[in-house]
Chain A
Amino acid sequence: MNEGRIPRSATVIDRIDESPTVFTLRLRLEEDPDTPFVFRPGQFNMVGVFGVGEVPLSIVSDPLDIDFFDHTVRIVGRVTTAMARVRPGERLGIRGPFGSGWPVEQAVGRDIVLVSGGLGCAPLVSVVNYISRRRDQFGQMTLLHGVKSPEEMIYRERFKELSRQDRTRILLTSDRAGDGWEGSVGPVTALLDDLRFNPDTTSAKLCGPEPMMVAAVKKLITGGMAEEEIFVSLERSMQCAEGLCGHCMLVGHFICRDGPVFRYRDIRPLLEHKGL
């Protein structure tokens, strides 16, 4: 138990630049290469740069790919700036996986609506990948994904590929239009106005800024979706990931431990107040 709490060394085996400020790192644990890295979609790792510090990062790869795992990172602060300089062959420290993850089993056989905003899509990308790889287990998948400007739209090729899959709709939107932008213009919540779904067979998973999620959930519920079929992934500062450091508290919840994925019904009143 104790030893599990210190980081393990992982080698960067690949790196993809997704945009000028976003990159994906593919990692493999060094010691015990035979022990698979077991996780659920929506779980996260604390990823550390030697001498700099750690940040919580959602795991975006698929649990079936047992000999590596991927993190998509946006350069926003000290640690992610240092992480952006890491090249294949170099090492990072890994603690994890942590958190609850998405209840993907619960959604088997159902239609799924996914709503995401900004790079908040990282936790949802794991679900998109999970479903597309097990396409026959799930019904219709609709991804509504919004960004502030077209430059922030990453995974474009991947989304194009996915939208050619059976029973899959990918609707992309940007708050502002730009060169060559082919998607919608406006907030992601506006895409929900025209969305048709069968309330009896549909579950929703959301990730992104809390006001966006609150607004989107209202529209889903207006459309007839049951509140208990709606799940959200929340974001807070996390330093220990073990429910000890207190940074991620949302009233009685430690987001790192009790979340980051919650059933919307369980946290709804908490999202209605600013500054909790």
Chain B
Amino acid sequence: MDTDDLTGFLPRSSFKDLFTLLLREGFRIVGPREEDGTIVFKPVTSISDLPVGVRDDQSPGRYRISHQPTVRNFSWANGPQALKPLLFPPVETLWESRQDPDGRLSFLNAPDLSLPTAVIGLRSCDLVALDLQDRHFLNGPFPDRGYRSRREKLLLIGVHCSHPAATCFCASTGDGPGIRSGFDLVLGETDEGFVVSAGSEKGRNLRDQLPLRPALAKEIQIVREEIEAAARIQTRALPPGNLRDRLFLRLEAPHWDTVAQRCLSCGNCTMVCPTCFCSRNLEETDLPGNTSKTLRQWDSCFTSEHSYIHPAPVRGTTTFRYRQWLTHKLGSWHDQYGRSGCVGCGRCLTWCPTGIDMTQDLPHLFSWEPPGE
């Protein structure tokens, strides 16, 4: 936990003041809500919108909410989505084409509808995933216009994770459960309130306007111990180190077929993964046929269309598609973005209808020895 900064304490009775302040500063607030039997990130306007005493019981292929007798708002691990849909919407318009009666074509960038948005309740895995999405959407030769505009208007309020799910393995990837960077404000929740630190100039400005008292050593200690416990109780782990070479030496391992027999190629893992970035372009023409919108929609490497070039998909089997996903996520991501694409959030396990668990499959893959040169 970053404690170089001034650390204050926001009593639970003053938590609403953070919301009032954010609204006064002109932010739309997005935060966790209990909805559809899970935690979803949606617009919130007051602390009464936040979950209270909610726990999420997760295991491969399973997600259930339960309620505990506690006042805590952040006693859960994660839901199917957090930041990704806010920056990289599931569907968005890229440009609009117009055809004049004389056949002339004109093209217009989609209007920028982004709003200053404060997101509260982000986990360390969410913030690291955001950094990875930034590398993809902003750092290449063609920075994404819509993503950049939304990103620049974002205020990030993280909450240290004290209640990881059984599917979490962020401690092994080094991406949690405590938040170390990438935030404007970070909160450590105790029963009585929140230990508050700032991680940016924007965050310091806000912090200075909150009715904080200095945090007691005991309060900081509680937060620290809960983060340490949250790391300790994680039972799943990725094998340590850069897995790139170990994976690419095993492209022909028989275990890919074994996993593929359970994989429905449904793409759920790619939809909930906070770093998956694939998209497809679609055309949507109006009824008179004079204007057409080019839309970008989330896509998945688990569809046969994803790799289709005439006359057949490059990855025509589930074996090839699962192998593509995992070797990209844990392997070639290193080539593209300098680190693994997995932040250990465990969503791909939880939301897999057949409960495929990469932390279980990797040891099987690695136990296979490739034939020598």
Contact = CB atoms under 8 A, between A and B. Distances in A.
A89 interface: yes
Contacts of A243: 140-142
Interface string B307-319: 1111100111101
B335 interface: yes
B252 A273 contact: yes
Given A9-B107, A275-B315, A239 B136 contact: no
Contacts of A274: 320
Contacts of A257: 140-142
A245 interface: yes
Contacts of B215: none
Contact of A246 (B251, B277, B335): B277
A9 B336 contact: no
A108 B292 CA distance: 45
Interface string A165-177: 0000000000000
Contacts of B299: 245-247
A249 B106 CA distance: 31
A252 B292 contact: no
Interface string B117-142: 00000000000000000001100111
Contact of B306 (A5, A7, A90, A247): A247
Contacts of A50: 97, 99, 105, 292
B248 to A, nearest CB: 8
Interface residues of B, number: 57
Contacts of A219: none
A257 B336 CA distance: 12
Interface stretch (B4-12, B31-39, B182-190, B278-286): B278-286
Instruction: Name which of A6, A30, A239 has the most chain B CB atoms within 10 A of its CB.
Output: A6
A90 B316 CA distance: 37
How many of chain A's residues touch chain B, expressed as a range?
35 or more
A2 B109 contact: yes
A246 B280 CA distance: 9
Interface in B272-299: 277-283, 285, 289, 292, 294, 296, 299
Contacts of A252: 332, 334-336
Main secondary structure of the interface of A (DSSP, over half): loop
A275 B301 contact: no
Interface in A1-53: 1-3, 5-9, 30, 48, 50-53
A54 interface: yes
A236 B314 contact: yes
Contact of A245 (B105, B280, B289): B280
A202 B252 CA distance: 35
B254 interface: no
Interface in A240-268: 240, 242-247, 249, 251-252, 254, 257
A207 to B, nearest CB: 14
Contacts of B248: 251
A50 B95 CA distance: 12
Contacts of A90: 103
A236 to B, nearest CB: 6
B90 interface: no
A103 interface: no
Nearest to A92: B105
A51 B97 CA distance: 8
A1 B323 contact: no
Contacts of A77: 310
Contacts of A242: 140-142
Interface in B320-357: 320, 323-324, 327-328, 331-332, 334-336
A214 B278 CA distance: 29
Contacts of A5: 142, 145
Contacts of A251: 248, 327-328, 331-332, 335
Instruction: Name which of B137, B278, B289, B311 has the most chain A CB atoms within 10 A of its CB.
Output: B278
B217 interface: no
B214 interface: no
Interface in A43-71: 48, 50-54
Contacts of B107: 6-9, 93
Nearest to B310: A76
Nearest to B97: A50
A205 interface: no
A3 B109 contact: yes
7 contacts: A6-B95, A76-B311, A91-B103, A243-B142, A246-B279, A247-B278, A252-B336
Interface of B: 94-95, 97, 99, 103-109, 136-137, 140-145, 248, 251-252, 277-283, 285, 289, 292, 294, 296, 299, 301, 306-311, 314-317, 319-320, 323-324, 327-328, 331-332, 334-336
Q: Report, nearest first, the 3 A-B pairs whose CB atoms are least far apart.
A: A252-B335, A275-B320, A242-B142
Given A53-B282, A251-B328, 5 more contacts: A7-B95, A53-B281, A54-B294, A91-B103, A244-B144
